[in-house]
Amino acid sequence: MKVVNSLKTIKVRDKNCRVVRRKGRMYVINKMNPRYKARQG
């Protein structure tokens, strides 16, 4: 999992990416391709 400044850059890489908020942190998750996992904050 990557820690990034801007989740938007990760989100546009693949159409299956979803931005989710959990425990005060923003995550990008992708069920089809878990390689795109990222977190912010």
Give pLDDT, residue 10.
Answer: 86
Name the pTM for this structure: 0.76
pLDDT tens profile 1-41 = 889 988 888 888 888 999 999 999 999 999 999 888 999 97
Give pLDDT, residue 14.
Answer: 87
Q: What's at 36, amino acid-wise?
A: Y
For the chain, the structural domain boundaries read 2-40
Give pLDDT, residue 17.
Answer: 92
Give pLDDT, residue 7.
Answer: 87
Listing DSSP states for 1-41 in one string gives -EE-S-HHHHHTT-TT-EEEEETTEEEEE-SS-GGG-EEE-
